[in-house]
Chains A and B, each alone.
Chain A
Amino acid sequence: MTDQNWSILIPEIFLFIWALFIFGLDLGIKRKNPKILGYSAMAGLTITGILLAIFNGGILFKGMFQSDQLAIFFKVIFIGSAFMAVGSSFDIASEKIRHHRGEYYGLILFSTVGMMFLSSASELITLYIGMELTTIPLYVLAAFYKDDKLSVEAGLKYLIVGAFSSAILLYGLSLLYGLTGTTDIVTMKINLSLVFLSYGKIGPGLILAMIMVIAGIGFKLALVPFHMWAPDVYQGAPTPITAFLSVGSKAAGVVAFARIFVNGLIAFASDVMKPLDWGIIVAILAAAAMILGNITALRQRNIKRMLAYSSIAQIGYVMVGMVAASELGIASVGYYMFIYLFANMGAFTIATIFNDKTGSDGIISYSGLSKTSPIFAAYMSIFLLSLAGIPPLGGFAAKYLVFAAGIQAGYTWLVIVALLTSVVSLYYYANIIKTMYFSAEEPTIKIHPSFPANLVLLISVIGIILFGIFPGPILDWALESAKIFAF
């Protein structure tokens, strides 16, 4: 307990205090100038990012708080997605959310704090509590349009599914604790190998535990077959919250998955350990996610539902990198999430602005957008093409890396499925672009986003193009972060 470096907790503590400050500020300004709240939330997130760059590296509380490269990498993604969600909220905050604007922004920050703690946790209790701190504010935010039945319904469904998946996850975690007598993930790994070496088997209890944990986290990630809730919640919730859900909360689930499986249960990722191999289970689920997500997305007429199914498919691609369970695999997952942050947040931001202006989420109402707002049509095209994985945008490099990791680990069939479904996905992404550019209908809508929303869009576009052409820096960083796991 001598050389504890307490300063690595500063980013989280600062963000928490900043959220409290925003609650207070809301009382202070008495709803006169709602923009101040949004700008201060963005400022708080920026400062947190800077603090994170200064105070990092180290372990506190015996691994309950690890400020390693993986945690920092994902914390940047969380802060980025919260920043963009806040930035795209300005218009709805001034019109649709007349009450509790401070709580709206503050709860987004609370959820971000939860994600940050979750990504640093190398211990099951802290990991679980961090996950709850991530989701409980999101239940409230999903139902934030209190008079809108769709939003309340989204909140209810998200809460029921979220609590149900927590219970399932907890059951799995309790079995892991029972099998190893510890909640520390590294000790867990050692104890499991000890049992395996001394008895020659562990038994089906471990399989049950792994299935329950995969199901529990799978619900949070909206991995097929635990995805049923996602389209409804995505459609009903306020759009910036949907974007935050689809990027931030998914990235949190990805970290939790990596910590538990790729770190704690890495020994059980190969054929040698049959039938205790979790890789094959996840590979099958990933294939199902890619097939079902992409094919269902083809039929959607509502842009938010389409993006929901597309993000179900996207998490399938991420899981291809995860099952590889190698350094390249984890690095490709990190890189994928980083690009996904820009592309998905950008697409949802345009959907938010558009809905705010027209009150419609129908894909058909985007027709002719290129004539009235050529810049936004171009932005949207870039986001969609990146999601589809067209070079030279970021999405291409991301998909390439994930597939390379999959092949390297011997999951060739999975990569073939992924390639084929990517082609399918191109169809529905391109369909929106076609609607925007080549529709015969006379366009009527012209969109003027607020300054913060413009900023978010600009950051996303630059990020996608820059890191698509020069993937080097991010990839090196992702590879560095993957080194924390001993492969």
Chain B
Amino acid sequence: MLQYLALASILFAIGIFGVLTRRNTIGILMSLELMFNAVNINLVTFNKYIGPDNLTGQIFATFVIVVAAAEAVVGLAIVLLLYRNWRGIEVDRINLMKW
């Protein structure tokens, strides 16, 4: 079981790295998807090894996928808005207010 958890935490760490370092907004959204996938690996692993009596973990993972899809849809709509306003989607150009 531990190997799966380790894989998930490596994937999560790569996702964090991407969110922190990507300049392109779509790149950030892709890194976020990696993080959600890492969480799902965790959930499915725990479902198999800790709580095999029911499928709560897999149900949770299904909901996470659905919510991630909803977030991606809104995120990409905002990316289109950004492109219309700035003609570019690099986050450090989009910085009228200081962070």
Contact = CB atoms under 8 A, between A and B. Distances in A.
A and B touch in the complex (CB under 8 A): yes
Interface of A: 124-125, 128-129, 132, 136, 139-140, 143, 146-147, 149-150, 152-153, 155-156, 159-160, 162-164, 166-168, 170-171, 174-175, 177-178, 181-183, 228-229, 231-232, 235-236
Contacts of B99: 228-229, 232
A139 B78 contact: yes
* Chain B at the A interface: SS class: helix
A150 B95 CA distance: 9
Given A156-B78, A160-B28, A171-B38, A177 B96 contact: no
A153 B19 CA distance: 17
A387 to B, nearest CB: 23
A164 B29 CA distance: 9
A182 B54 CA distance: 10
A167 B70 contact: no
B64 A170 contact: yes
A97 to B, nearest CB: 15
A153 B5 CA distance: 36
Contacts, number: 117
18 contacts: A124-B60, A128-B67, A129-B67, A139-B75, A149-B94, A150-B96, A152-B82, A156-B78, A156-B79, A159-B75, A166-B71, A167-B32, A171-B38, A177-B57, A178-B46, A178-B50, A232-B99, A235-B97
Nearest to B20: A164
Q: Give the interface centre of B15, B25, B59, B75 by most chain A CB atoms within 10 Å.
A: B75
Given A140-B74, A143-B81, A164 B19 contact: yes
B17 interface: no
Nearest to A154: B97
A178 B67 CA distance: 21
Contact of A146 (B50, B63, B74, B81): B81
A478 to B, nearest CB: 32
Contact of A153 (B28, B35, B77, B96): B96
B85 interface: yes
B32 A152 contact: no
B88 interface: no
B97 A150 contact: yes
